[in-house]
Amino acid sequence: MRTHTILLAVATFIVTGSLSAAQETKPTTNAPARRPSQSPPLISPEILADGGVTFRIKAPKAAEVKVSGQFGPDTVMTKDDQGVWSATVRPAPAGVHEYRFVVDGLSVIDPQNSAVKPQRWPGVSILHVPASPAAPWDWQDVPHGTIHEHTYNSKALGKPRRIFVYTPPGVQSGGRLPVLYLAHGYSDNEATWTVHGKAHWIMDSLIASKKAVPMILVMPDAHALPPGAAGFGEYGPANSAALCRELLEDIIPLVERTYKVTAKPRARAFAGLSMGGHHALTVALNHHDQFNWIGAFSSAPPPSKGVAAGLDHADAVNRDLKLFWIACGKKDFLFQRNGEFTGLLKEKGVRFDYEVTEGDHSWPVWRRYLVEFAPKLFR
């Protein structure tokens, strides 16, 4: 705790150029109280009428500041006589972008922006530039569903856990619904699919346009085990095995006793990205009798020995899975491994659909995958 306090003070000094007035001086008891000077609040990011976006940060003691984000190359910022650094990006492409400031080599989130990407190790702010016409991940004037938060005691893991659940509009008056279980990647958490991935707005849009059937989304914490010093080669399979236990013993029972759902494998889908794709491929080959629809986005493939049950019984996998959809971008660092894994599936006789797309290992790609995958489900 003491270390955190020191680091916070150092970060405050770097960005603002000073400690608080109480830390700098102690006024005498006879001195009149001074009102702090009122400077107008900074606005950052500010979306401009011409399509540009201006970023601002106050760092009077800094020698160099730049803004780094998914909207384009790094942009060097300039400082005014008040110690405020600013830069305008023109034009800023439509989309939901991650960005950060680099202040004398130190990466910091935007202090003026409350939109921060949920992660196990938070480090980036969010810039959302709406498209025209609106993209599925933009806010639209259509009926909207509801996000529910559940905390529960996981008997499988022996600790409290949390999931987020999206229910579509009109769920109270409709019949029983199918469920898509949706997993995040290694650096993210159970809130990322909604706060940053905009999964709920995507589903609102798809359902309103009748491109997807109404369904419930369940977004668990895909880290059933806390990441440790071990590499992903060791952590991944152990974590997937633990999450699968929790799904079957805790999460599915919670969902099926709380919501009006169809409690059958044909009405359950599982999809995930990166580490969540590792989960999805594991579920497809080890638990195809419980989930009949699978989506693996930019996956970190599991070792073959961990999914041998399915690889060695392709007939059972093919019988149970109504859809086994795998997708990866050409510039993704996991592209080669996805090619190797799909080659193994083909060799073993497991049926699947593999889509090679443009893009890298990032959320703009995964939002598009959800837009493409969800309409394929439960038909």
Q: Residue 17 corresponds to which tokens in the numbers above?
A: 């150029």
**Mean pLDDT calculated for residue range 138-147:** 97
Q: Do 39 and 82 contact (CB within 8 A), yes or no? A: yes
**Mean pLDDT calculated for residue range 270-290:** 98
pLDDT on residue 246: 98
Q: Residue 199 corresponds to which tokens in the numbers above?
A: 């999964």
**Number of Cα atoms under 13 Å in the Cβ half of residue 129:** 24
pLDDT confidence of 230, banded at 50, 70, 90?
Answer: confident
Share of the chain above pLDDT 70, in %: 90
Structural domains of the chain sorted by starting position, each given as residue range(s) with its CATH number in brackets = 43-129 (2.60.40.10), 146-376 (3.40.50.1820)
Q: Distance between CA atoms of 203 and 336, rounded to whole angstroms?
A: 31
The string of pLDDT tens digits covering residues 339-362 is: 999 999 999 999 999 999 999 999
From the list 247, 251, 306, 243, the residue with the least C-alpha distance to 275 is 243
The string of pLDDT tens digits covering residues 16-38 is: 443 333 333 333 344 455 455 56
pLDDT on residue 172: 76
Mean pLDDT of the chain: 91
pLDDT confidence of 173, banded at 50, 70, 90?
Answer: confident
pLDDT on residue 16: 44
DSSP β-bridge partners for residue 84: 58
pLDDT on residue 8: 34
E strand or H helix that includes residue 370:
helix 363-373
**Mean pLDDT calculated for residue range 47-66:** 96
The residue that leads in pLDDT, 229 or 223, is 223
Q: Which residue has the tokens 């809130």?
A: 191
Q: Distance between CA atoms of 219 and 199, rounded to whole angstroms?
A: 10
**Mean pLDDT calculated for residue range 117-123:** 95
First and final CA of the chain: distance in angstroms? 53
pLDDT on residue 91: 87
**Number of Cα atoms under 13 Å in the Cβ half of residue 109:** 17
CA distances from 324 to 237, 279, 285, 376 (A): 20, 13, 10, 11
